[in-house]
Amino acid sequence: MSSHHHDHAGHDHGHHGHHHAVPANHNAAFAIAIVLNVVFVAVEFAYGFIAQSTALLADAGHNLSDVLGLLLAWGAALLARKQPSGRYTYGLRSSSILAALANALLLLIACAAIAWEALSRFSEPAPVASVTVMVVAGIGIVINGLSAWLFVAGSKDDLNIRGAFLHMAADALVSLAVVVGAAIMLFTGWYLIDALLSLVIVAVILYGTWNLLREAIRLALSAVPANIDLDAVEQFLLALPGVSAVQDLHIWGMSTTEAALTAHLVMHEGHPGDAFMADLSQQLTERYRIAHTTIQIQQQSLGQGCVLHLSD
């Protein structure tokens, strides 16, 4: 890690170069999932009308919103890989936050549409071709389950990818519920269950969407990412050799996968040195997954300042 030192009126500034990590490539997963779901949405809408099943139409509407959500997430993933420029010095990685937020809002709109249609069916429940519904929804379980599996690995570390995973996983569960409901209608003739299932679908979607929406809003407002404990980071910095105080500590999400930190460390007399700063950068990345760090050092006895920019 190279460094440059400039002395100006008692202030020593050290700048360590930033290296912007390239986000993981999920192009194949997005392409496969989108193609599978577009075909299935067309089939499910057609058979939803043929079978007169509100639950099947509701599931198709949800799947359509998922296709749009996948397109949003894929677009954001591609933009996040764009290198920094003169105007966008962090690149376009924050677009993944906007995509996660848009995905959550899209799901809420889909929920409102499904609930409205289901409630209108309570007054006039229509006969449903239960066997057709069971077959189509069964295919949905396979397609959505496979699509969710494609995003399992990336969903652990990326809120944008987690949004795509939640869409697909929720669809698989919803399709399972539709199969069960169709079986009940087949043996009991109680067609009201179709509308009830639609409302259950809405509840499942809302439950899965809430955390996604909350975390996306927090990241959009530059809150500390959910996977980082601000107090733990502060205590870690205070425990560093020579550090007597930590001031102006800020941590925020630059994207759905990357976090940044700025802090002002008050230290005892003596420059901390490049080895100290390199080790601090590495530990912040390994312990807390904070790869973009800017530290300002103030030497306690002399009141000198030193600014160091770190990046893994």
Residue spans of the domains in the chain: they are 5-20+225-311, 27-220
Supply the pLDDT for residue 306: 53
Buried b (16+ CB within 10 A) or exposed e, 207-233: ebbeebbebbebbeeeebbeebeeeeb
The mean pLDDT of 128-141, rounded to a whole number, is 83
pLDDT bin (cut points 50, 70, 90) of residue 271 is: low
What percentage of the chain has pLDDT greater than the value 70?
Answer: 84
> CA-CA distance, 257 to 16, in Å (whole number)?
22
> CA-CA distance, 274 to 2, in Å (whole number)?
9
pLDDT tens digits, one per residue of 152-181: 776 666 777 777 787 788 778 778 877 888
pLDDT bin (cut points 50, 70, 90) of residue 115 is: confident
Q: Distance of CA 53 to CAs 168, 190, 196, Å?
A: 21, 13, 12
Q: Which of 190-194, 257-261, 294-298 has the lowest mean pLDDT?
A: 190-194
Tell me the whole-structure pTM to 2 decimals: 0.66
pLDDT, mean over the chain: 78
Highest mean pLDDT among 60-69, 83-92, 278-287: 278-287
> CA-CA distance, 152 to 169, in Å (whole number)?
10
- Is the pLDDT score of 257 beyond 90? no
Supply the pLDDT for residue 5: 36
In this predicted model, which residue has the larger pLDDT, 93 or 11?
93
Supply the pLDDT for residue 53: 74
Residue 293 corresponds to which tokens in the numbers above? 């760090």
Supply the pLDDT for residue 215: 85
pLDDT tens digits, one per residue of 224-256: 988 899 999 999 999 998 888 999 999 998 887
Residue 213 corresponds to which tokens in the numbers above? 């929406």
- Is the pLDDT score of 262 beyond 90? yes
Superfamily of domain 5-20+225-311: Cation efflux protein, cytoplasmic domain (3.30.70.1350)
Supply the pLDDT for residue 6: 34
Supply the pLDDT for residue 301: 61
- Is the pLDDT score of 17 beyond 50? no
Highest mean pLDDT among 22-31, 171-180, 197-206, 284-293: 284-293
Fold match between domain 5-20+225-311 and domain 27-220: no
- Is the pLDDT score of 82 beyond 80? no
Supply the pLDDT for residue 9: 33
Q: What architecture is domain 27-220? A: Up-down Bundle (1.20)
